[in-house]
Amino acid sequence: MIRGTITRNTAPDLWEIGFGVVLVGVALVSLFIWFPHDITGGFIERNQVGNVGPGDAFFPVLLASAILVLSLIGLLAHAVKVARNIPVDREMGRVTRANLKFLARFHLIVVAGLLAIYLLGPIVVATQNVLTDGVEQYRQLVDTAPYKYIGYIAGALIMTLPIIAWAEGRWSTRALIVVLAVVLSTIVIFDVLLNNVQLPPNADY
């Protein structure tokens, strides 16, 4: 958070409105102009062996649609506050040492999570080879349980739990349960139900 002087105001926040309008515009242009002209595949497609799964446009359309919906919700929420004369705290920002520490800590958590996602699976396989005199490579196991889940689950936990605990000021079992539920749900959706999608980072190997 950028610290500064806090003022309370019931007038429309032009920065918040402008940000929301820009995101709505970008999402609409992406959905109706960019994607139709740039992405050759469909949203849902049937492959050569007859399996139905997400096409090339699946994830870009989902992302742009989510941005559109969230931006509209933000604009609507701001409009309701203005209409009801609900005062909003607004900070006249200035960068401080605390801001830089915040950004450094946040990026450290995210980078640690990404490294775990990408490196932990191969490390586990390499360690297993040393202990069992095996010769397998992670590239050969990217679609084999439990190896394909190791980096994804560990990285998700490393990237989310510390941030939740940081925001709440404490570690909690509830946060762990919520994160595990979300991770397991995404595994079921993207690895079980959608049989032509690989969880990160497996598609990179």
pLDDT one-digit tens code per residue, 153-169: 999 999 999 999 999 99
Q: Are residues 102 and 85 in the same domain?
A: no
pLDDT value at position 1?
44
Q: Please give the pLDDT value at position 42.
A: 77
Tell me, what amino acid is at 92? Answer: M
- Among the candidates 29, 59, 94, a domain finishes at 94
CA dist 78 and 85 (Å) reads 10
Contact of 179 with 156, CB cutoff 8 Å: yes
Q: Of the ranges 2-16, 18-32, 35-49, 99-113, which one carries the lowest mean pLDDT score?
A: 2-16
Shared-domain flag, residues 2 and 101 = no
The Cα 96–Cα 2 span in angstroms is 7
Decide the pairing of beta strands 52-54 and 44-46.
antiparallel
**Burial (CB count within 10 angstroms: exposed 0-12, middle 13-18, buried 19+), residue 192:** exposed
Looking at residue 191, the DSSP 8-state letter turns out to be I
Range of the domain at 56: 1-94
Q: Which of 104, 33, 41, 27 lies closest to 70, judged by CA?
A: 27
Q: Are residues 127 and 180 in the same domain?
A: yes
55 and 104 inside one domain: no
Residues 88 and 100 grouped into a single domain: no
> Taking 70 as the threshold, does the pLDDT of residue 48 lie above it?
no
Average pLDDT over the chain reads 85
Whether residue 13 has pLDDT greater than 80:
no
Helix 58-83 / helix 14-29 crossing angle, nearest 10 deg: 150
Locate tokens 């609900």: which residue? 86
- Let me know whether 108 and 190 are in one domain: yes
Q: Which residues make beta-bridge pairs with 93?
A: 4
- Taking the model in full, what pTM does it have? 0.64
Of 30, 64, 94, which residue constitutes the final position of a domain? 94
- Which of 40, 66, 94 is where one domain is finished? 94
Given a contact cutoff of 8 angstroms between Cβ atoms, the answer to whether 120 and 155 are in contact is yes
